[in-house]
Structure 1
Amino acid sequence: MDSAVARDQALDAAERLFYGRGIQSVGMDDIRGASGVSLKRLYQLFPAKEQLVLAYLERRDLRWRQRLADHVDGHADPGRRIPAVFDWLGLWFREPDFRGCAWINSYGELGATSERVADQVRAHKRAFKDYLAGLVREAGLPAGLAEPVYLLAEGAMVTAAIEQSAEPATQAGRAARMLVEAYGGAAVID
């Protein structure tokens, strides 16, 4: 098995297991069993579990942000893009394997003991915040609106995971629409 295929198989298994069960409850032997990659090969690719966790978070970050951007970019009107973020969150929260935000979960498990994981989580959150700031700017809204929109989205993620409900996306989206309108954006309430 070539390195790229083995790496992809290991990361696929790590993503399923880490996201589904939690990082600390999954050992490298579990990854071996779920991926079909030998333990020796697994340790050649990822000499430490932390390296596998970082690769999992990096790959998930790219995929997560791309899925969000694909959905939001489907709205030509910049005034519809901020509400579209919350619409997408609602779709994500309804997925059968939704277990909350992988980065918040990872920070909760490892943030105090792994600075590299904490840095990866911060980088993901910073990129998400920057993305939202870009949407606010494109809509011609005051820059100060980006922070409350970000906090609404983050709060929706945490609450959706705890309550096992997509309703927080609807509620946070409604609040974001009211903020956009209060700051002079076009009426976006459907």
Structure 2
Amino acid sequence: MATRARDRLVETAGRLFYTEGIRAVGVERLLTDSGVGRASFYRHFAGKDDLVATVLRQRDVKWRQNLEKSVAEHGGGPLAVFDALGAMHENGDCHGCSFNNAVAETAGTDDVVRRLAVAHKNAVADYIKGLLAGAGYSARLGEDGMDELAWRFVLLVDGASMASVRDGSSAPARRARAMAEILLNAAESGETERSG
């Protein structure tokens, strides 16, 4: 039973934090919507900040698993990242990147949130770097060039995610894909600038 209460809290918090924002959702709302009592909440979490960190850790794993699965379904190449992103945003129910949102809401003052966001983005960049390597770009670009290109892809992913919130559509992911294709073409022709 105790595990179910914890799971309900995490599931409810994940949904509410993503759709309404971390600051907008207080402990009372979490208790009401999850049906979990206050004593049970504090048995599982030291406070709301602890719950936020748990939700972000879980979101990181789930989001990256979904990305990897969708990228594979879209052919597995580097550009498939944007096809996968577009598929995630097709229903218009996108509220942006949970990690960017959390950092913005805490104005970068919450070290735990910031560290989790940095770790998430590093993991996404590493994944993209692996896709680039699998497509043969490491021989052309070298380690530094691969890092730079992966981070440019992450920047496009972040921008497309935010623009999807604004537009309520997957069109920004298609535009980001077109930009990423230009980056890949430049890398193939040796025109990629290797410095930031």
TM over 0.5: yes
Out of 94, 103, 114, the position equivalent to 2:99 is 103
Q: How many residues align?
A: 181
Please tell me whether residue 173 in structure 1 is matched to residue 170 in structure 2: no
Counterparts of 1:25-40 in structure 2, within 5 Å, are 25-40=24-39
Q: Is this contact kept in 1: 2:93–2:168, CA < 8 A? A: no
Q: Is this contact kept in 2: 1:111–1:118, CA < 8 A? A: no
Residue 88 of structure 1, CA deviation: 0.9
Q: How big is each residue's C-alpha offset from its partner over 1:70-108, in whole Å with a ceiling of 9 and x where there is no partner? A: 1112356xxx52111101111112234311111111000
For 1:90 and 1:128, the matched residues in 2 are separated by 16
- Single out whichever of 67-76 and 86-95 deviates more from structure 2: 67-76
Matched to 2:113, the amino acid is V
1:188 corresponds to which residue? Answer: none
For 2:16 and 2:56, the matched residues in 1 are separated by 13
Out of 121, 133, 153, the position equivalent to 2:129 is 133
Residue 49 of structure 1, CA deviation: 0.5
| CA shift in 2, pair 1:28/1:48, >3 Å | same
2:58 corresponds to which residue? Answer: 59
Q: Secondary structure at the match of 1:182?
A: helix
Q: Is this contact kept in 2: 1:68–1:85, CA < 8 A? A: yes
Matched to 1:152, the amino acid is L
Q: How big is each residue's C-alpha offset from its partner over 1:94-148, in whole Å with a ceiling of 9 and x where there is no partner? A: 2343111111110001143311111111111111111111111111112142222
Out of 104, 110, 115, the position equivalent to 1:114 is 110
Residue 155 of structure 1, CA deviation: 1.4
1:43 corresponds to which residue? Answer: 42
Give me the TM-score of the superposition, normalised by structure 2. Answer: 0.86
1:16 corresponds to which residue? Answer: 15
1:5 corresponds to which residue? Answer: 4
CA root-mean-square deviation:
1.7
Q: Which consecutive unaligned segments of at least 5 residues does structure 2 have?
A: 190-196
Matched to 1:174, the amino acid is A
For 1:162 and 1:59, the matched residues in 2 are separated by 25
Residue 159 of structure 1, CA deviation: 1.7
Deviating above 6 A after TM superposition, structure 1's stretches of 4 or more consecutive aligned residues are none
Q: Which consecutive unaligned segments of at least 5 residues does structure 1 have?
A: 186-190
Give me the TM-score of the superposition, normalised by structure 1. Answer: 0.88
